[in-house]
Amino acid sequence: MNKKIPKFRSEDEEREFWATHDSADYVDWNKARRVVLPELRPSLKTISLRLPEAMIEELKLIAHKKDVPYQSLMKIFLSEKINEEIKAR
């Protein structure tokens, strides 16, 4: 028999709980069904980043050639580099 999942007052409280508990004790994964959440978007956090003006201008030129907003291009570049670093571990 599975344990009952407690009620959480916040996402942070739930996150802390699952970081220290095994979901197999609470969920029968043999009965689980795959769910598609097409509208789900990752949590975003706004940051302030100081960059040299010349770098921003170069990013804008590259972004214009690729027909994407320069901030989106920055996210793409960061994501690619992060994935490279993860693979290199």
In a domain, 81, yes or no: yes
- By C-alpha distance, which of 9, 5, 11, 6 is closest to 25? 5
pLDDT value, residue 69: 97
pLDDT at 65 over 90: yes
In the 8-state DSSP scheme, what is residue 39? T
Report the share of the chain in percent with pLDDT over 70.
99
In a domain, 75, yes or no: yes
pLDDT value, residue 42: 85
pTM of the entire predicted model: 0.55
In a domain, 38, yes or no: no
Mean pLDDT of the chain: 93
In a domain, 22, yes or no: no
Is residue 3 within 8 Å of residue 18, measured between CB atoms?
no
pLDDT value, residue 1: 62
Total domains present in the chain: 1
Which range of residues forms the domain containing residue 62?
A: 53-88
In a domain, 84, yes or no: yes
In a domain, 74, yes or no: yes
